[in-house]
Chains A and B, each alone.
Chain A
Amino acid sequence: MTDIVRTEQPPAAVMPPAKRPARFGWLWNTRLLGVLFIGALLILWEIAAAYAIFPPMSFPRISSILSIWWQLVVSGELLGELLSSLWRMFAGYFIGVALGVGLGLLMGYVRFFYNLLEPITEVLRPIPSPAYLPIMILFLGIDDEMKIFMIAFATVFPVLLNTYSGVRSVDPIQLQTARTFGVSGRKLLTQIVLPASSPYIFTGMRVSLAVALIVMVISEMVAASNGIGYFILSAQRGFKIRDMFAGVLTLAMLGYILNRLFLLIENRVLAWHYGYTQQRS
C-alpha cells in the first residue's frame, strides 16, 4: 500500500475553481500560480533595490544576494555552518522525540506517571525557550551540550502532549481485542498502543521539527562560534548584509526541505491512516 499519497489539493468546497476562460486559465488552478507570485515579489525586490527605495546599505539587490549565496555554497563555507547547525538540531530533536514519545506513552498508559508528571509538564511547557537560555548557559556553558539540551527540551513537549492524547484516544475495543488474543502489558504497548497513536505522534514530531529549527537558530545567535544562526548575526554585525540575507535564504530553503522530507516519510509510514480516515469520512 505505497500508492496512497496525500495530495496537497485545497479542499474543493472551500475554494471553487476560478472561472477564467482565457488562454492561461489553467494557471489559476495550480500551485504554479503561487510560485510565480514569489517570482514576481523577487522581481519587485530587485527593482526596488535598483531604484534605492530603501537604503541600499541594508537592502541589496536580490541578484547580488543570490550571487553571494552561490559563492558561499561553492566555497563550502555555508555548508560547513549548516552541518554544525544540523548536527546540533538533529541531536537535540531526536533526544527530544525519544523522550517525548517515551514519557507520553507512560503518562497515557500508567495513571501513576500521569499524576506524577502532568503538573510539572504544565509548569515547564509555557516557558518560551529563550527565557531559560541564560540558565542553560550558566549550567552547561556555551558549547554544543547547551544547544542540544535547549533543542531537546523545547521539542519534548509537543511530542509528549500529542503522544499522550494519542494513547488516550486508542479505541478500547482494539485493546480488548488484543487482550482476548493474550496480549497484555508491555506487548500491548508496542503492538497496539504505539501504532494506534502513531498519527498523533507524527503530528507532534512535525510541530517539534519547526520548534527545533527555531531554537537552534536562537541558541546559535546567543552563544556560538559557528552554525547558521551565528553566521547570520555575525554577518549583520560585520556589515556583510548580503551574506546575512544569504543566510536567511538558506534557512528558508532548509525549513522547506525538512518539512517536505518529513511529509514524505509521514505519507509512507501513515499510508494506512490516510486511507482509513478517508474511508470513514
Chain B
Amino acid sequence: MSQSGRAVLRVSGLHKSFAAAGGTTVALNGVDLEIEAGSFVSIIGPSGCGKSTLLQIMAGLATPTSGEVYYEQSRVQDPPPDVVYVFQQYTRSLFPWKTVERNVAFGLENKGTMSRAEIASRTRELIGLVKLTGFERHYPWQLSGGMQQRVAIARALACRPAVLLMDEPFSAVDALTRAGLQELLRALWRELNLTVIFVTHDVDEGVYLSNRVVALSRAPATIAIDVLIELPEPRDQIATRALPAYLKHRAHLLAQLFADEGLKSVEVA
C-alpha cells in the first residue's frame, strides 16, 4: 500500500512463533506494515490469527522471533513513550485497588511532567468525555463491563499519546454504547491528531472507523488485504453505512474472512 504521509510506525519482516506443549505455533509469518502518522488503521482477521500478537509487538510489549519494529526513527524494544496500548482484557488491565479517578490519572502521574492540579483537571475532563462523571470514586469492579472499558480508554487518552493501539476495545459493550464509543474515538482522533491502530474482528466496525483496513489471513498470518477506505467525512452511523463504497469494502473484506474460515465465499461485483 503506497501512501504519501510520514510513517510513524514501521514493521518489517515480522515473524513470531510460540513454543507450546503441542509444538510450535507460528502466529505471524512475515508481516510488513507502515503506519502513516495521523491515520486510523484497523486490523481485522479471524480469531487466533495473530492480531493481538502483532499489536503487542508494535507496542514493544512482546518481542518478535525475527523482524523489527521502528517507532519514528528508533527501534522498538521497550514500550516507547507516547505509544499506549489498550488491552483486550480490560477488566484485568484496570487496577482494582485504584478508584476510577486514580486509574485514569495513572499514566499522567507517571509521566511526571504535570502538576497535581493539571492532572486533576485532565482526569476530570477525560472522565467527562467518556461519560463517567459521578463515578470518580468508584472502584473498577463496581462498574459494568462497558463502563470499565471506558475507564481503560480514558486512561489511555488522558496522557495524549501520539499512537493509540487498541485491541478489540469495544467487543464487550452493547450496540448502542459501542456506537457512542466509536463516535467518541473518531472525535478524539480528529481533535488530538492521534494515530490509531485498531484491532477488531468486526468488519463493519473496521470499515466505518478507519481510513485504512488491513486484513490478516489465518495463522500463520500474513497480510491478505490492505485497502484505503475513502469515505466522506464526517462519518455518520446511518448514512455512511448505507453508501455503496462502504458496502463494497465490507463485501470485499467479508469475502476474505469467509474464505479463510472455509465458509461459502460471497460473490462480489
- Please list the residues of chain A having a beta carbon within 8 angstroms of any beta carbon in chain B: 1, 171, 173-174, 176-184, 187, 191-192, 195-196, 198, 272-273, 275-276, 279-280
Contacts and interface: CB of A to CB of B under 8 A. Distances in A.
Q: Which of B84, B97, B107, B142 has the most CB of A within 10 A?
A: B97
A187 B139 contact: no
Interface string B90-133: 00110111010000001100110000000000000000000000
B159 interface: yes
B84 A181 contact: yes
Contact of A276 (B84, B111, B139): B139
Given A1-B137, A1-B139, A276-B139, A174 B78 contact: no
Given A173-B89, A180-B59, A272 B96 contact: yes
A276 B87 contact: no
Q: Which of B83, B95, B106 has the most CB of A within 10 A?
A: B95
Contact of B79 (A173, A179, A272): A179
Contacts, number: 62
7 contacts: A173-B93, A174-B92, A174-B93, A176-B87, A180-B83, A276-B141, A279-B141
A173 B95 contact: no
A277 to B, nearest CB: 9
Given A173-B87, A275-B139, A181 B106 contact: yes
Overall SS of chain B's interface: loop
Interface of B: 59, 61, 78-79, 81, 83-85, 87, 89, 92-93, 95-97, 99, 106-107, 110-111, 137, 139, 141-142, 159
A179 B78 contact: yes
Given A192-B95, A272-B97, A276-B96, A184 B139 contact: no
A275 B85 CA distance: 27
B110 A182 contact: yes
A183 B106 CA distance: 10
Contact of A179 (B61, B89, B92): B61
Nearest to B56: A176
Contacts of A171: 92
A183 B110 contact: yes
B206 to A, nearest CB: 23
Given A181-B159, A272-B96, A272-B97, 19 more contacts: A1-B99, A173-B87, A173-B92, A174-B92, A174-B93, A174-B95, A178-B106, A179-B61, A179-B79, A180-B59, A180-B61, A180-B79, A180-B83, A183-B110, A195-B95, A273-B96, A276-B96, A276-B141, A279-B141
